[in-house]
């Protein structure tokens, strides 16, 4: 523990407080800033919402020259620059959306050192013109955001990222800081290797997001369950709903709109301009639900997304965690909700099976999917399971579905044997629906046609509902005890592991099927209190008034509401009821520039109210 701070550290803290209006650094931010200010290279692994941006923004302000931020997210650069302008930092971007004249102006400002931070897309950075510009620009640092884009195994792979090693070769004395929210060791190694960060200091933060409540429910009618969930817990909130296909994205958005929820679609098949418009509305307006494929969301730093829902199973825990991590970046409580069923397992396995990729890639995908299924079927704390996957040990969290209402398990050996022998007796030629019909003794046309009512297993499973059998079968597929033959009408087949179950050599423990519960209304009620100031009725009224002021102000400035102030800041103001600029100065999120821009208005507004 360092007891005496250096002048640079004092300066960093001073900037944090006066420019950004935050009282203290979070987790490792202070050390990272200190390291980069001194000229060191850094690799920063921090979960979404952890506060990565300040780790390069503050050093860029302290060090001489311009901070160059490499980011693949052109669509977000405008908001990032706007947010910095709001706190009085001189920032700009260079990308294909601006005119030649604008670019020229920014290039001139860079050369003269009249700007603190410039965001550049990697393909732009690699042009001869840009590299020459950098060679005559005083550079404070290079920040490589979304650094996992160099990983060929990840789903965000960008070939241009690999070329970024050129920065080190051309500018060996400029510190580089690579940042990502992807935690696995393989990605980390690839970043170090490809960006030549062998000598960089690694800062690995805890990946826990304690304010997010994880919930994975049995899928019955996914859309209807989603609607109940939103109505019960998130009316008026901003959220993201992930679906696998474009068609389902569109249908889900339509369904939500028909039911009174403002939802917008987003997928790669839409016109670029329409996509951009929907994204801008989602960012700027309050309370919009985005239904999207995974094409949506990388780098979306809207702080007040209150829920992320999955109507289809993600391909990996990495993907799931990245997507759910977009909820609750402001630290207030948020929900990650997913509906999951037999069909999801079948569908994901089929997609791997039918992909054109080589065998190694398929094997990696298979392992990742199995890990994801393990999370869905776990009887233990979801958070412990996730963090363990990222190599971090932890204790039962009290803020996930399995902690809040522990699932019961049962010895499923006999049930599994019934399924396996039925699959065997129908010659491994039929899909799940028929196998379950035979088990339950249902007298369908197909059963009659194949005379399956004559089988010894006909009706031996009449004690369980179809949904229960589906849940058991789903777990058996997840466990590799049954496989699905996609080339033959999704027929169920035995596997190498089935035999041991049939011979009772092993027993299997299964999760008890739980009928979908009616979602209960407990808006904002959470096992732990996450930084939401509890407002009294009159404070709530002030808060609403402030929100309304914020909408108007954001419109007038042509920017997003959260760029003016976060909800958490407005809540704190409503609670503090500042009567003077001095009172307002201490509120988290109110820096010097914002105080100057909005302080007087807010103090007046509060005075009117009181
Ligand atoms: P990341 O890029 O890691 O996802 P951001 O840099 O966007 O996260 O930060 C997430 C949120 O946390 C932002 O709204 C930011 O203003 C806020 N934040 C970051 N650092 C601090 C801090 N030290 N104190 C208070 N709020 C912070
Ligand atoms: Zn838990």
Task: Give 294-353 pLDDT, tens digit per residue.
Answer: 988 876 778 889 999 999 999 999 889 989 999 998 888 999 999 999 889 888 888 888
Cα–ligand 1 centroid distance for 275 (angstroms):
26
User: Average pLDDT of 15-41?
Assistant: 95
- The finding on whether 475 has its CB within 6 A of some atom of ligand 1 is no
Distance CA 546, CA 567 (A): 9
- For residue 421, the model assigns a pLDDT of 96
Choose the residue to mutate in 25, 51, 179 for probing ligand 1, maximizing ligand atoms within 8 Å of C-beta.
Answer: 51
Cα–ligand 1 centroid distance for 33 (angstroms):
14
Cα–ligand 2 centroid distance for 214 (angstroms):
8
Cα–ligand 1 centroid distance for 582 (angstroms):
24
The encoded tokens of residue 73 equal 């997210």
Half-sphere exposure of 98 (CA within 13 A, CB side): 20
User: Which range has the worst mean pLDDT, 166-170, 456-460, 485-489, 516-520?
Assistant: 516-520
Nearest CA-CA partner of 178 in 65, 56, 67, 61: 56
Cα–ligand 1 centroid distance for 51 (angstroms):
3
Cα–ligand 1 centroid distance for 232 (angstroms):
29
State which ligand 1 atom lies nearest to the alpha carbon of 54: 6
- The finding on whether 211 has its CB within 6 A of some atom of ligand 1 is no
For the four alpha carbons of 328, 331, 332 and 335, in that order, the dihedral sign comes to positive
CB 241 within 8 A of CB 226: yes
Residue 523 has pLDDT above 50, yes or no: no
Each residue of 90-112: pLDDT tens digit? 999 999 888 999 999 999 999 99
User: Average pLDDT of 350-379?
Assistant: 88
Distance CA 474, CA 432 (A): 10
Distance CA 60, CA 181 (A): 21
Q: Report the mean per-residue pLDDT for the chain.
A: 90
Task: Report which listed range, 140-154, 176-190, 424-438, is most confident.
Answer: 424-438
Confidence of residue 605 (pLDDT cuts 50, 70, 90): very high
Domain architecture of the chain: domains with CATH: 7-204 (3.40.50.300), 212-404 (3.40.50.300), 409-511 (1.10.10.10), 535-609 (1.10.150.80)
Whether the model pTM is above 0.85: no
Nearest residue (CA) to ligand 1, atom 10:
49
State which ligand 1 atom lies nearest to the alpha carbon of 25: 23
Each residue of 529-555: pLDDT tens digit? 555 557 888 998 999 899 889 989 998
Nearest residue (CA) to ligand 1, atom 27:
51
68 against 342, higher pLDDT: 68
- For residue 527, the model assigns a pLDDT of 41
The structure tokens 């296909």 sit at 245
Distance CA 46, CA 31 (A): 13
Nearest CA-CA partner of 566 in 552, 547, 585, 549: 547
User: Average pLDDT of 479-499?
Assistant: 88
Cα–ligand 1 centroid distance for 492 (angstroms):
49
- The finding on whether 498 has its CB within 6 A of some atom of ligand 1 is no
The encoded tokens of residue 194 equal 């490809």
**Radius of gyration of the chain, Cα coordinates, nearest whole angstrom:** 27
- The finding on whether 52 has its CB within 6 A of some atom of ligand 1 is yes
Distance CA 146, CA 85 (A): 22
* % of the chain beyond a pLDDT of 70: 96
CA angle 465, 468, 471 (to 5 degrees): 150
State which ligand 1 atom lies nearest to the alpha carbon of 301: 7
Distance CA 534, CA 328 (A): 17
Cα–ligand 1 centroid distance for 527 (angstroms):
23
- The finding on whether 209 has its CB within 6 A of some atom of ligand 1 is no
3-state secondary structure of 407: coil
- The finding on whether 67 has its CB within 6 A of some atom of ligand 1 is no
The number of helix segments (H) and strand segments (E) in the chain equals: 28, 17
Cα 525 to the chain's mean position, in Å?
A: 22
Q: Which ligand is nearest to the CA of 182?
A: 1
Residue 251 has pLDDT above 60, yes or no: yes
Nearest CA-CA partner of 177 in 130, 125, 217, 140: 140
- For residue 140, the model assigns a pLDDT of 97
Residue 221 has pLDDT above 60, yes or no: yes
- The finding on whether 329 has its CB within 6 A of some atom of ligand 1 is yes
Nearest CA-CA partner of 67 in 30, 103, 116: 116
Nearest residue (CA) to ligand 1, atom 23:
25
Cα 502 to the chain's mean position, in Å?
A: 41
Q: Which ligand is nearest to the CA of 404?
A: 2
- For residue 411, the model assigns a pLDDT of 94
Q: Which ligand is nearest to the CA of 179?
A: 1
Q: How would you label 236-256 residue by residue, b for 16+ Cβ within 10 Å and e otherwise?
A: ebbbbbbbbebebbbebbebb
* Alpha-helical segments (H) within 390-465: 401-404, 413-425, 432-440, 445-449
């Amino acid at each position: 523990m360092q007891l005496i701070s250096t002048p640079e550290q004092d300066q960093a803290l001073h900037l944090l407080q006066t420019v950004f209006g935050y009282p203290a650094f979070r987790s490792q931010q202070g050390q990272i800033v200190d390291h980069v200010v001194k000229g060191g290279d850094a690799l920063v692994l921090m979960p979404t919402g952890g506060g990565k941006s300040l780790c390069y923004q503050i050093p860029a302000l302290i060090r001489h020259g311009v901070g160059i931020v490499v980011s693949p997210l052109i669509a977000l650069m405008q908001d990032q620059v706007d947010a910095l302008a709001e706190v009085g930092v001189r920032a700009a971007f260079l990308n294909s959306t601006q005119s030649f004249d604008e670019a020229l102006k920014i290039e001139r400002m860079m050369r003269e050192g009249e700007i603190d931070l410039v965001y550049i897309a990697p393909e732009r950075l690699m042009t001869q013109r840009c590299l020459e510009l950098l060679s005559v620009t005083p550079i404070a640092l290079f920040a490589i955001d979304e650094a996992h884009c160099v990983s060929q195994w990840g789903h965000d792979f960008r070939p241009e990222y690999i070329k970024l090693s050129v920065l080190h070769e051309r500018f060996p004395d400029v510190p580089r800081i690579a940042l990502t929210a992807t935690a696995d060791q393989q990605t980390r190694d690839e970043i170090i290797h490809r960006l030549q960060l062998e000598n960089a200091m690694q800062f690995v933060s805890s990946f826990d997001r304690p304010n997010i409540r994880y919930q994975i429910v049995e899928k019955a009618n996914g859309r209807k369950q989603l609607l109940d969930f939103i109505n019960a817990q998130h009316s008026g909130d901003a959220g993201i709903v992930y679906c696998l296909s474009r068609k389902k994205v569109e249908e889900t958005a339509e369904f939500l709109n028909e039911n009174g929820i403002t939802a917008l679609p987003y997928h790669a098949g839409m016109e670029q301009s329409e996509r951009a418009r929907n994204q801008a509305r989602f960012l700027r307006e309050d309370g919009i639900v985005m239904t999207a494929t995974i094409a949506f969301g990388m780098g979306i730093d809207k702080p007040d997304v209150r829920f992320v829902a999955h109507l289809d199973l993600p391909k990996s825990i990495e993907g799931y965690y990245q997507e759910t991590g977009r909820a609750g970046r402001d630290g207030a409580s948020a929900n990650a909700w997913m509906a999951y069923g037999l069909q999801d397992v079948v569908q994901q396995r089929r997609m791997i099976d039918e992909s054109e990729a080589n065998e190694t890639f398929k094997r990696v995908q298979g392992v990742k999917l199995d890990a994801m299924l393990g999370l869905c079927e776990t009887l233990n704390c979801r958070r412990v399971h996730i963090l363990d996957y990222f190599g971090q040990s932890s204790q039962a969290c009290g803020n996930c579905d399995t902690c809040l209402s522990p699932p019961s398990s049962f010895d499923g050996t006999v049930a599994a044997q019934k399924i396996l022998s039925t699959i065997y007796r129908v010659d491994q030629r039929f899909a799940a629906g028929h196998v379950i019909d035979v088990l339950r003794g249902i007298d369908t046309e197909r059963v009659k046609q194949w005379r399956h009512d004559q089988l010894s297993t006909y009706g031996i499973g009449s004690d369980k509902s179809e949904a229960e059998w589906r849940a058991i079968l789903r777990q058996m597929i997840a466990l590799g005890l049954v496989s699905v033959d996609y080339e033959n009408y999704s027929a169920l087949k035995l596997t190498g592991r089935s035999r041991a179950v049939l011979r009772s050599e092993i027993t299997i423990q299964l999760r008890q099927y739980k009928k979908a519960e009616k979602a209960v209304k407990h808006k904002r009620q959470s096992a732990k209190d996450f930084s939401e100031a509890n407002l009294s009725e009159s404070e709530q009224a002030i808060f609403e008034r402030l929100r309304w002021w914020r909408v108007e102000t954001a419109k007038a400035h042509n920017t997003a509401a959260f760029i003016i102030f976060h909800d958490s800041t407005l809540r704190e103001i409503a609670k503090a009821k500042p009567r003077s600029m001095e009172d307002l100065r201490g509120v988290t999120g109110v820096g010097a520039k914002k105080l100057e821009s909005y302080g007087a208005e807010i103090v007046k507004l509060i005075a009117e109210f009181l």
